[in-house]
Structure 1
Amino acid sequence: MKTVAVKIVILGSQGVGKTSLVTRYETKSFQKNTSSTIGASFSNVDAIIDDVKVKMQVWDTAGQERFRSMAPMYYRGANAALLVFDLTKYDTFTDVKAWAHELTHRVEGELMLVVVGNKVDLAEQRVVQAATARNYAASIGAPFFETSALDNTGESS
């Protein structure tokens, strides 16, 4: 079986659920009380996709503004970036646009961008509509997914 190694960086504002999404994927569980990431955390995740073993280095970055200057150190050499925002907070969607702009201007080589709207379980508090996020993602050539780390849902739209 063929094996490929990829580096994935997860970017977004504080509190959008980046760590919760990584934890949900890795452990199939949700931890209600997670502490803020300091700098970044790193994990290795293996998956088999189309008969190819994919060894993923997943970098979960801190969302606090004070750690923003460290981000280039984490996304350097990345193959993909998940740009995560909270569907209930419009400013986090605006922050995703800034991350996408920074990545497209600073990362050399091919970089797959994926836009992720998290917390779809909070439908009654939603402020970023699917069409808005989908249109933005399409404008940067990225797929858009809505997820909930809490209830383990996720779909592209």
Structure 2
Amino acid sequence: MTLLPYPREVSGLRRIDKKIVLIGDPAVGKTSLVRRFVQNTFDDKYIASIGVKVSKKTMEFKICGTDVQLDMMIFDVLGQHDFHRLRRMYVDGANGAMLVCDLSRLDTIESIESFWYPEMEKIVGKIPMIILGNKCDLADEFSDGASLLKAVSGILSLPTQLCSAKTGVGVEDAFMRIGREVLESHFQKEAPVAQMVTIENLHMAADAVISHYCERQDNRDAAIETCAIVFKEAGFNIRQPTKESLIRAIDLLFEKEKNEIGEERALANRAERMRYLDGL
């Protein structure tokens, strides 16, 4: 059950879908946390999740200067330690995880370290995760549960958030936090890909500029040598090209041609070469 995220542009926002899973022992309040966050309601009746419950919540962020609308698909996964194969099906493809424990039950905190974190790492590897200490209305930040949670978070190097599905304290903050971490991870992975595309496009633009110049010269070998000198003088590095250095190379070719064919024709050639940079 893998959710495939894809970016879309909606009214100036970049829209991204992400899958978030809530896991933890039975009766720690996973379903109540989702209900509180999505519907802003609470019901103290315990209903065991059979398999998985899926909810959706739309949130807005500003990440790396970009306005983002996050469609968060929240998977509330069964808490029984058995059913590994079933849980794997629901967890697979998760972009972020919230490991939920009950601050008033120390065993649920211990199982985050001994069972749930290793289980998640085995299925999805390293993804953004946060430990939620639910029911802080029953056990505050000075309780034994909070102290144990702090120790576990230190061992696993994971952030924590105390919250209460009953009162609503810390719930929205927790989901906002995991949402931001997931989006930041998304943009970090996307940046190298975008950089590779930009470099390839700059290479293609540089080749087009060189071809444009050489095609208008009688001696192509001499023209290629001229381009090599000009591009070096402009600081165009083939491994790390920049748009600015390519523009400098085009300007230098213009200066050279101006003395050979006149300023009017040289300007026309420069304008044609600058069009190769459109979109870069």
Q: TM-score range by the shorter chain?
A: 0.7 to 0.9
How high is the TM-score relative to the length of structure 2? 0.51
Alpha-carbon distance between aligned partners in 2 of 1:94 and 1:68, rounded to the nearest angstrom: 19
Match of 2:34 in 1: 22
Alpha-carbon distance between aligned partners in 1 of 2:28 and 2:87, rounded to the nearest angstrom: 17
Give yes or no for the alignment of 1:38 onto 2:38: no
Segments of structure 1 that go 5 or more residues without pairing to the other structure are none
Match of 2:74 in 1: 58
The answer to whether the 8 Å contact 2:106/2:148 transfers is no
Q: Of 87, 90, 102, which residue of structure 2 is paired with 1:86? A: 102
The alpha-carbon distance between structure 1 residues 56 and 37, as it changes in their structure 2 partners (threshold 3 A), is same
What letter is aligned with 1:26?
Answer: V
Match of 1:13 in 2: 25
Shift of 1:68: 4.4
Of the two, which has the highest radius of gyration?
Answer: 2
Give the structure with the higher percent strand.
1
The alpha-carbon distance between structure 1 residues 55 and 131, as it changes in their structure 2 partners (threshold 3 A), is same
- Residues 56-108 of structure 1: per-residue CA shift (max 9 Å, x gap): 11100111344444211111010111000000111111221111112122314
Runs of 4+ aligned structure 1 residues displaced above 3 Å come to: 65-69
Q: Of 122, 129, 138, which residue of structure 2 is paired with 1:113? A: 129
The 3-state SS of whatever aligns with 2:166 is coil
The answer to whether the 8 Å contact 1:11/1:83 transfers is yes
How high is the TM-score relative to the length of structure 1? 0.88
The alpha-carbon distance between structure 1 residues 94 and 150, as it changes in their structure 2 partners (threshold 3 A), is same
Alpha-carbon distance between aligned partners in 2 of 1:15 and 1:69, rounded to the nearest angstrom: 21
Match of 2:118 in 1: 101
The answer to whether the 8 Å contact 2:109/2:148 transfers is no
Alpha-carbon distance between aligned partners in 2 of 1:20 and 1:37, rounded to the nearest angstrom: 11
Segments of structure 2 that go 5 or more residues without pairing to the other structure are 1-12, 175-280
Aligned length: 153
The 3-state SS of whatever aligns with 2:148 is helix
The alpha-carbon distance between structure 1 residues 65 and 99, as it changes in their structure 2 partners (threshold 3 A), is closer
Give the structure with the higher percent helix.
2
Alpha-carbon distance between aligned partners in 2 of 1:105 and 1:67, rounded to the nearest angstrom: 15
